[in-house]
Chain A
């Protein structure tokens, strides 16, 4: 069996399908393309696909990842040639590399996400820069999270690596580099809510104004892509 790590896009309208729907959608495309993906054992065989962290519904991404087990040897170019004619619009395979089956899952490895957010603000780039600079000087950035009807406070500050003012589609924007995954997860919509509360000059924006640019692995102070970590 061969395992391949694959990077793909989720753009356009398909941004609105859930993580579960995405898995089914890819599995059906594999069936249509008759791609030799390995099946699980058991009463209800399913394709052996393992995804990286779920993308919030409504957000686009150019940096999604999945690991797929194949029943026979296949190159990324072959896989892409077979999949492209059967994938729905908005999903595009970008890159793939064969990896060892000993490597940890994407879910276990990925711990950093980079987002681009289009801002709703009257401030110019310099103004945003200053606001963000002051925002990050706070000792704590507390937000409230609700889970199982319990509300608890979470400090976002240690999970934010970097906030950078820039332009997205000719409009003021923000690039966020934050922690993601089970050991700490800062959601971009939470950061936007905290920013808007901190200074009225910036408003919250819908998830459709946000884009995930990539997922990474922070290890011993180095930032690696999911491909790079697999090569180590």
Chain B
């Protein structure tokens, strides 16, 4: 690639550091020596993608093999895109600055439905045909994986192969086969048929979908013999022994998260019925204290960061959390290294923990009661009471925090207006108690921020059969909240309703959405998750032009025994369990956490041949 050209373009764009690579710990290998070249593509900006832990794992996982090389590529911001198109500069990988179409495979990370148009745009910028049916033998293999891959259908027209599950488990064997196919010059079709017979691989071209008159999927079947009807998620049985990088790339520019991230556990079985992560990452597997301490030491040394984040779906549920936090504080406090706990349970234990590990500078604390009334919290199986929240908030204020953020959702199944009023009442009660404490302690006024997102039903959850609210209904409910959540020290945030609607459509979409995605991108849609670029009217018009009713995907007229558009993707959790949970939710019944009491028969351990591992307690 023309380095002179890049040098002359970069001074003209905002944040040129997004495109220069060469960060500390980035891996640069000789292309001539590499037997397989992988470009990991994140369909959002550099600073968003570089905060993502999955990308760090994958990058170093592939690069630890001497013969293979992995590089990174992100979605260029629109100013950079304009200049690249003007100067015919194809999308390039950061490390070598070579066009990504020279790589053997491009792997997209699917974190968010509203980044799908960026995938199309990145392929186009790379001078690769966007539609898989139009790509040739010489084009790279286009792979995708990540949480949104559990409903891969909206992307079926663009992606050659989806990887379902945790990459540590079989990335090596997958790449070995692709390497062999390259050396022995297999046709792309032969390779895909071969791969499709492996666990965890979904090749959309090898499956046919049939719809009924309503537009409901009635059949998804392989069109090639030997290709399995169900694609089974790949899961790491022993997380403690699984690969974890000893180095993180250290960006030059400020990115969303700048810290050592320790993944202390994977999976959560609290069983919140809206939560996709809580269903697709089962069962709970923890890393041992010894492993985590070793990883912390290596990562702090190799990066120079001054913060460690203890990451998991619910940090305070790690069985050895207190001991781990104490050990890390003992070892690193004097060196000025802070520890952060990104997801706290609502109780005074968690607040105490946060107090122990935080450096003097105190930011706010965040709790997620998710719903305003006990009835509503029982529906979603969020095992938290108003007393729990008041107790946690009180101890936070006692410990000196003056800013508390409360996360809620609107549009949850069976929600009534009184449940929304309940959000306001709960927040007011918390505010009142906090204010009493801070007056007694003579500390500064407490700010309570109520942040309300719009519930989006996701695939593979008990609420996958539920109808999502319409745009008008979301607006009406937001208006109720705006009226009710008022008072001194209280503030309200809400999410864009239009964005949520589109997210809802793609979250439970089928293959027919491919044409909409393609047309919307052709009409200029990109960076849909960024308010400055999101254009709702463009999307509505595109649905109309394609003759597809987007509301179908919101009302979602699927019944109990219907095949769902993602039924061929098997997470291990049985549909029977999801349906039982759905029925229990309507009856406002709770389900316990299998980690602490007995098995709740989600069947995932048996189906995936794995077991709960609570190593932190050892």
Determine whether the beta carbon of B10 is less than 8 Å from that of A44: no
B138 within 8 A of A: no
Residues of B near A51 (CB, < 8 A) are none
B302 within 8 A of A: yes
Give the CA-CA distance A88 to B253 in the complex, in Å.
Answer: 13
Determine whether the beta carbon of B8 is less than 8 Å from that of A206: yes
Determine whether the beta carbon of A89 is less than 8 Å from that of B10: no
Give the CA-CA distance A16 to B20 in the complex, in Å.
Answer: 8
> B16 is contacted by which of A29, A45, A57, A89 (Cβ under 8 Å)?
A57
Give the CA-CA distance A206 to B6 in the complex, in Å.
Answer: 12
Give the CA-CA distance A32 to B23 in the complex, in Å.
Answer: 14
Determine whether the beta carbon of A14 is less than 8 Å from that of B22: yes
B352 within 8 A of A: no
Give the CA-CA distance A28 to B250 in the complex, in Å.
Answer: 9
Determine whether the beta carbon of A89 is less than 8 Å from that of B336: no
How many chain A residues have a CB neighbour from B under 8 Å?
A: 28
Residues of B near A27 (CB, < 8 A) are 304
Give the CA-CA distance A57 to B305 in the complex, in Å.
Answer: 24
Give the CA-CA distance A75 to B453 in the complex, in Å.
Answer: 57
Q: Which of A17-25, A128-136, A152-160 contacts B (4 or more CB under 8 A)?
A: A17-25
Cβ < 8 Å to B, chain A residues 1-31: 12-14, 16-18, 21, 24-25, 27-31
Cβ < 8 Å to A, chain B residues 2-43: 7-8, 10-12, 16-17, 20-24
Determine whether the beta carbon of A12 is less than 8 Å from that of B17: no
User: Whose C-beta in chain A lies nearest to the C-beta of B251?
Assistant: A21
Contact with B along A55-92 (1 / 0, CB 8 A): 00110000000000000000000000000001011100
Cβ < 8 Å to B, chain A residues 86-110: 86, 88-90
Determine whether the beta carbon of B359 is less than 8 Å from that of A31: no
A142 within 8 A of B: no
Instruction: Please report whether the interface of chain A is mostly helix, strand, loop or mixed according to DSSP.
Output: helix
A208 within 8 A of B: yes
User: Whose C-beta in chain A lies nearest to the C-beta of B18?
Assistant: A16
Determine whether the beta carbon of A86 is less than 8 Å from that of B304: yes
> A208 is contacted by which of B8, B254, B359 (Cβ under 8 Å)?
B8
> A206 is contacted by which of B11, B303, B336 (Cβ under 8 Å)?
B11
Determine whether the beta carbon of B304 is less than 8 Å from that of A32: yes
Give the CA-CA distance A208 to B303 in the complex, in Å.
Answer: 29
A229 within 8 A of B: no
Residues of B near A86 (CB, < 8 A) are 24, 304
Residues of B near A230 (CB, < 8 A) are none
Indicate whether A14 sits within 8 Å of B11 (C-beta atoms), given known contacts A28-B24, A28-B305, A31-B306. no
B483 within 8 A of A: no
Determine whether the beta carbon of B23 is less than 8 Å from that of A88: yes
A143 within 8 A of B: no
Please give the distance in Å from A174's CB to the nearest CB on chain B: 18
Give the CA-CA distance A30 to B11 in the complex, in Å.
Answer: 29
Indicate whether A43 sits within 8 Å of B17 (C-beta atoms), given known contacts A28-B24, A32-B303. no
Give the CA-CA distance A57 to B16 in the complex, in Å.
Answer: 9
Determine whether the beta carbon of A89 is less than 8 Å from that of B8: no
A54 within 8 A of B: no
Give the CA-CA distance A206 to B16 in the complex, in Å.
Answer: 14
B86 within 8 A of A: no
B349 within 8 A of A: no
Give the CA-CA distance A105 to B10 in the complex, in Å.
Answer: 32
Please give the distance in Å from A51's CB to the nearest CB on chain B: 16
Determine whether the beta carbon of B252 is less than 8 Å from that of A14: yes
Contact with A along B298-338 (1 / 0, CB 8 A): 00111111100000000000000000000000000000100
Residues of B near A43 (CB, < 8 A) are 359-361
> A17 is contacted by which of B17, B304, B305, B336 (Cβ under 8 Å)?
B17
Residues of A near B300 (CB, < 8 A) are 31
Interface contact tally, CB-CB below 8 A: 72
A207 within 8 A of B: yes
Give the CA-CA distance A18 to B21 in the complex, in Å.
Answer: 14
> A28 is contacted by which of B7, B16, B304, B360 (Cβ under 8 Å)?
B304
Residues of A near B21 (CB, < 8 A) are 13
Residues of A near B304 (CB, < 8 A) are 27-32, 86
Determine whether the beta carbon of A58 is less than 8 Å from that of B10: yes
Contact with A along B238-253 (1 / 0, CB 8 A): 0000000000001011
A39 within 8 A of B: yes
Determine whether the beta carbon of A28 is less than 8 Å from that of B253: no
Indicate whether A21 sits within 8 Å of B24 (C-beta atoms), given known contacts A16-B16, A57-B11, A58-B11. no
Give the CA-CA distance A229 to B359 in the complex, in Å.
Answer: 41
Give the CA-CA distance A18 to B300 in the complex, in Å.
Answer: 24
Residues of A near B359 (CB, < 8 A) are 43-44
Residues of A near B8 (CB, < 8 A) are 206, 208
Please give the distance in Å from B83's CB to the nearest CB on chain A: 12
Indicate whether A90 sits within 8 Å of B22 (C-beta atoms), given known contacts A29-B304, A32-B301, A32-B304. yes
Determine whether the beta carbon of A21 is less than 8 Å from that of B254: yes
Please give the distance in Å from A47's CB to the nearest CB on chain B: 10
Cβ < 8 Å to B, chain A residues 137-194: none
Give the CA-CA distance A88 to B359 in the complex, in Å.
Answer: 29
Please give the distance in Å from B170's CB to the nearest CB on chain A: 33
Residues of A near B302 (CB, < 8 A) are 32
Quick one: which of A17, A30, A57, A90 has the most chain B CB within 10 A? A17
Please give the distance in Å from B37's CB to the nearest CB on chain A: 21
Please give the distance in Å from A192's CB to the nearest CB on chain B: 13
Residues of B near A24 (CB, < 8 A) are 252, 254
Give the CA-CA distance A86 to B250 in the complex, in Å.
Answer: 12
User: Whose C-beta in chain B lies nearest to the C-beta of A39?
Assistant: B336
Indicate whether A21 sits within 8 Å of B252 (C-beta atoms), given known contacts A14-B22, A16-B20, A28-B303. yes
Give the CA-CA distance A30 to B17 in the complex, in Å.
Answer: 21
Residues of B near A207 (CB, < 8 A) are 11
Give the CA-CA distance A21 to B361 in the complex, in Å.
Answer: 22
Please give the distance in Å from B183's CB to the nearest CB on chain A: 33
Residues of A near B301 (CB, < 8 A) are 32
Residues of B near A57 (CB, < 8 A) are 11, 16
Please give the distance in Å from B419's CB to the nearest CB on chain A: 41
Determine whether the beta carbon of A21 is less than 8 Å from that of B17: yes
Give the CA-CA distance A29 to B11 in the complex, in Å.
Answer: 26
Please give the distance in Å from A83's CB to the nearest CB on chain B: 12
Q: Shortest 9 CB-CB distances between A and B: which pairs? A: A28-B304, A31-B304, A32-B304, A58-B11, A13-B20, A16-B16, A17-B252, A208-B7, A43-B360
A interface residue numbers (CB < 8 A to B): 12-14, 16-18, 21, 24-25, 27-32, 39, 43-45, 57-58, 86, 88-90, 206-208
16 CB contacts below 8 A, A to B, read: A16-B16, A17-B252, A17-B253, A29-B304, A30-B304, A31-B304, A31-B306, A32-B301, A43-B361, A44-B359, A57-B16, A86-B24, A88-B22, A206-B12, A208-B7, A208-B10
Q: A31-B304, A32-B302, A89-B22 are in contact. List 18 more A-B contacts (CB 8 A).
A: A13-B20, A13-B21, A14-B22, A16-B10, A17-B20, A17-B252, A18-B17, A21-B253, A24-B252, A29-B304, A31-B305, A32-B24, A39-B336, A86-B24, A88-B24, A88-B252, A206-B12, A208-B10
